[in-house]
Chain A
Amino acid sequence: AQTVTQSQPEMSVQEAETVTLSCTYDTSENNYYLFWYKQPPSRQMILVIRQEAYKQQNATENRFSVNFQKAAKSFSLKISDSQLGDTAMYFCAFMKWGSNYKLTFGKGTLLTVNP
């Protein structure tokens, strides 16, 4: 079975600064997907970024980028130029390729961006 660990229950960062959220996972699979989802307070969970395990290049989406270390089974999220709207719970998730949709989530990291 796959597990996803987010070791930082809470983090805070000053507006305009950079913050990195950590995620590690445990799997024996070689083909899989990794995701970061964001859940703002009282709002819908939305996909931030995703990474295919077969791709060596780290995914980026505007101010969001990942550091994917396949051998170390690490998938951290870097948020640059943090904005107040980035305040949210961030969930790391794993999906085995061909797993019939099964997403395995971590417990989440609550990020607060301070003005």
Chain B
Amino acid sequence: ETGVTQTPRHLVMGMTNKKSLKCEQHLGHNAMYWYKQSAKKPLELMFVYSLEERVENNSVPSRFSPECPNSSHLFLHLHTLQPEDSALYLCASSQEQFQETQYFGPGTRLLVL
């Protein structure tokens, strides 16, 4: 296993709920990412943080709200989600800007009812 952890591993929520996904990396990296993985679709990059600043927001709906309080932690706050948001949400990290290798967490399997 790599040094990127995610909690919870599974989450079921209603469309009116508010929940948060957490990612923590133990690799000393300073860039972190959120990806969405849906069945039969390529991984979609959602957000990128470098040195705790957001450097990429890939046209993600505002019902997804990221937060990066420090270089080791990344959150994805969820509110009023839709059933089509059900997917595996992957966190990744890498070292320094333009570092090519990203290390992934195990993901949170999200089901929106």
Interface residues of A (CB under 8 A from B): 4, 33, 35, 37, 43-47, 50, 91, 95, 97-108
Question: Are A106 and B101 interface neighbours, CB within 8 A?
Answer: no
- Docked Cα-Cα span, A45 to B56, in Å, equals 22
- Docked Cα-Cα span, A44 to B1, in Å, equals 7
Q: Is B66 positioned at the interface, with any CB of A under 8 Å from its CB?
A: no
A-B CB contacts (within 8 Å), total count = 60
- Docked Cα-Cα span, A54 to B39, in Å, equals 33
Q: Is the interface of B mostly helix, strand, loop or mixed?
A: loop
Question: Are B101 and A50 interface neighbours, CB within 8 A?
Answer: yes
**Could you say which residues of chain A place their CB within 8 Å of the CB of B97?**
100-101
9-residue interface stretch from B19-27, B73-81, B102-110: B102-110
* Min distance, Cβ B39 to any Cβ of chain A, angstroms: 10
Interface size on B, residues (CB 8 A): 27
7 pairs from A and B in contact (CB 8 Å cutoff): A35-B100, A44-B2, A45-B104, A91-B42, A101-B98, A101-B99, A103-B45
* Min distance, Cβ B4 to any Cβ of chain A, angstroms: 8
Question: Are B104 and A100 interface neighbours, CB within 8 A?
Answer: no
Interface residues of B (CB under 8 A from A): 1-2, 4, 31, 33, 40-43, 45, 48, 50, 55-56, 90, 94, 97-107
**Could you say which residues of chain A place their CB within 8 Å of the CB of B56?**
100-102
* Min distance, Cβ A93 to any Cβ of chain B, angstroms: 8
Question: Are B42 and A50 interface neighbours, CB within 8 A?
Answer: no
Question: Are A46 and B42 interface neighbours, CB within 8 A?
Answer: no
By beta carbon, the residue of chain A nearest B40 is A107
Question: Are B105 and A44 interface neighbours, CB within 8 A?
Answer: yes
Contacts A44-B1, A107-B41 given; indicate if A101 touches B33 (C-beta within 8 A).
Answer: yes
Task: Select the residue from A37, A44, A98, A101 with max chain B CB neighbours within 10 A.
Answer: A101
